[in-house]
Structure 1
């Protein structure tokens, strides 16, 4: 017997039905489905529209560059006063 037993789910379902009513719950599923479809459609159109920009010569605008550097430890002298 866990935190959410089948009896708990039954009480939660009854409370939800009393708060929202059965008519509202019927439309809730279709509204949620339309929202998910719209989100997926928006994500697919954004992916299709975003292509890397190319210059007229066919090269990309931002070429990756490598910076060659070497880290060195700098010790500061200890002052004795």
Structure 2
């Protein structure tokens, strides 16, 4: 009783095909494949970015910027 026979699986498959139709299932699988491809491409892009040396972070010294503006104006 706990296991399903091949006939059970065939009936389930027929019901799914009747509910969703053949076109809907192939469309759904195509969308899933596009999502997987986009995910893999995004992961590859992240790997490419991590291989390149990044620019050093530049900090903006507010005090020196204010002093530079004062010398320009005054």
The 2-side partners of 1:29 and 1:55 are apart by 41
Q: CA deviation at 1:42?
A: 0.9
Q: Which residue pairs with 1:15 in the alignment?
A: 15
The 1-side partners of 2:8 and 2:26 are apart by 22
Q: What per-residue deviation string (whole Å, max 9, x for no partner) do you get for residues 22-81 of structure 1?
A: 22012122112111111111111112212486797xxxxxxxxxxxxxxxxxxxxxxxxx
Q: After TM superposition, list the pairs within 5 Å mapping 1:56-71 onto structure 2.
A: none
Give the number of aligned pairs.
Answer: 56
Gaps of 5+ in 1: 57-81
Distance 1:54 1:46, change over 3 A: closer
TM value normalised by structure 1:
0.53
Higher relative contact order (CA 8 A, sep 6+): 2
TM value normalised by structure 2:
0.57
The 1-side partners of 2:55 and 2:38 are apart by 34
After TM superposition, what 4+ stretches of structure 1 lie above 4 angstroms from structure 2?
51-56
